[in-house]
Structures are given as structure tokens and as C-alpha cells.
Structure 1
């Protein structure tokens, strides 16, 4: 058990984190685009893409909420060892990770305030499939329109109406990732 907790991080932390950071920024800047991420091999049930995002964006000052099946001892130990990120409840997290149903209700996560919209949570949603199909997306970073397979549409429509407050989403599946920032309109 201890060996799995200590293994599974980036093989080359500086390079792997730089590549993942670039992929996250590209995904946020171009909502709906799907990016491949490699470098991390976390304990189940976390996908390699979600692990890479956590390894890149979390540290000792980044409270994380593990939801549902993600809230297990091997994952808590792995995250603590590799990032030092403190675990917290949904109302105080900066990042949350889990399956869509486990992350409900979205109202339990901080959407930021009018004065500090950057104090909102980013949800890393583990999905069974990432595809450019389904819900039409428009907004900043999208030339005309694109599509992304989403778990539902109404929650994202309601979230976008909160702008400049609101949640940001990163969808992960195996070694792929896509993002849906709060500025994106979902039809």
C-alpha cells in the first residue's frame, strides 16, 4: 500500500507539470477542445488526466475536496504525499474532484463573490467519455460554435448566468481533458 501511495507522480515533474499546465490553459482558452495529458499514474479511481491536473495546480495552499469514490484512503494519501494539498469540505475548496453525481449539488461549492470572482471552485469532473458531440457551446475562445458531451446542460446554463461569479469545470477521462469555463454558453 505504501509503495502505491508514494508512486504514480510525474516522472519528470518540471516538464510534465509544464505540459499539463499548458494543456489546462489551452483547454480553458478554447472551451470544448480535447487535450491529451500523460505523466501521472494515480491509484484508482482517479484518471491519469485528473491526477496530472491535481499535481500541476494543487499545493499546500490549495484546499481540495474529494467527492464520492474519489474520497478513499489511497487517493487521500497519494494527494497528500504528492501535493500536500489540504482536504476540505465543498464549501471551502478551491478544487473538487469526482464523478458528476458525486459533485452534486453544485450550490455547495463556492462561486466566488462580485468583488472576488476568482475565489470560486474549479470542479474536476471524471466522465466516462469525452467527445465533441452533444451540447452546442458558444462564447469566448470559440470561433463560431463547438460541441462537448456534457453530463447535463441545465446546470451549466445556470452557472453561466452567475458570471462573473460561477464555477469552472475540467472534464477528465483516462488521459484526456477538456474544460468549460463559466464564460461559456451551453445551449
Structure 2
């Protein structure tokens, strides 16, 4: 009974309006890659699941969405129960099985190629990764070009692997296949769809 009560707690205050607000924020961020958008997630999931990761899962995942959790989240039975109750999603054991992945430790981001890449005929059958980082400044500057970006857009997320740029270039090279990223820090998010191309800088 106690575990069931825990799973019931912490959902959206207004499920319809709150989900709509989060969905609009994600769509806006996807349309404007590498643009940081602030949002106040009105959800309190079980720790160590960050609130905005929980809000995004609550909004984007459902019973038809296989969901993978990184070790920091997957080892928590309370987090797993909260996600299953509030999303209906099936938690899967392997990254390649997932349509969405929640990653609470961005510095330990798995290889992007471990996740579903889609197919040439069906590139939409790829995974979207929701990744928590420490902040959107203080890290290595990443400058992008591509659809939805006027000229160039630069962010400097702190808390990604040191070789993230090379990983992202490999992901972009698989276009139209490849994964999409939603980066989260506190109450802010920024999206990196596979169409966002890193700009090479002279050293």
C-alpha cells in the first residue's frame, strides 16, 4: 500500500493544462534548436528523477512508448513505479529497445549509436533522449547551424562527456537516421534535433 501511495504522488497539478504547456515548450525548442527555453514543471516525481525529466516523461511517454532509464534512475524502484503509474510506459532493459530514454547523469551519456536510429524509409522510428546536464553555461561552447536556426546558435552545456562534439557529428552523419536530444537543466530545456549541425571552429 505504501509503494502504491508513493507512485500516486507527485503528478501534474492540472494534467491537461500542464501537459499542454510542456508539450508546447518542447515543440518550440525543437523548432529553434540550441535555444534555451524556461519552463516551470508543476510535477514532483520521486528522487532522483529531476522534475523536468519527470514532466517530459509524463507528457511524451505513454503505453505505446518503450522507455529506457540510465543506471542512476533505473536502480530506483520508486522512480520506476512513478513513471509506470503516471505514463503507462513500459520500462525496457536495453537502449536499442527504447523510443524515449531518460538520462539523469549527462556526463555518463551512453553512446548515441546504442539507441534506435530509425531506418532510411522510417527515420521517425528513432529514439529521443532526454538528458539532464548541470547548466547551459560553463561548458564547452557548441555552435550549431541548420533548419530553425537563424545564422548560428551557441550553447555551452556543462555536464556532457568531453567527446560529445565528435559523438554528435557521428549522429548527424547518419541523417536522416539518428537520435534527437532534449537537454534539461533545472527548469530550462534546449533541443538538439538530428538536423542541427555543429560548426567546426578553427583552433
- Please state which band the TM-score falls in when normalised by the shorter chain: over 0.9
* Shift, 1:101, TM fit: 4.3
Unaligned ranges ≥5, structure 1: none
The aligned residue for residue 48 of structure 1 is 51
How does 1:1-187 map onto structure 2 within 5 Å?
Answer: 2=3, 3-37=5-39, 38-71=41-74, 72-88=76-92, 89-98=94-103, 99-131=105-137, 134-150=141-157, 151=160, 152-187=164-199
Deviations 1:60-119 (A, max 9, x none): 000000012011211100001101100112111000111234441222101101011000
In structure 2, how many angstroms separate the alpha carbons of the residues matched to 1:102 and 1:81? 27
- Aligned Cα root-mean-square deviation (Å): 1.5
In structure 2, how many angstroms separate the alpha carbons of the residues matched to 1:167 and 1:173? 20
Regions of 4+ moved over 6 Å: none
* Shift, 1:21, TM fit: 0.4
In structure 2, how many angstroms separate the alpha carbons of the residues matched to 1:93 and 1:6? 24
Deviations 1:109-151 (A, max 9, x none): 0110101100000001111112497111111111011112242
TM norm structure 1: 0.94
TM norm structure 2: 0.87
Unaligned ranges ≥5, structure 2: none
Distance 1:177 1:8, change over 3 A: same
Larger Cα-atom Rg: 2
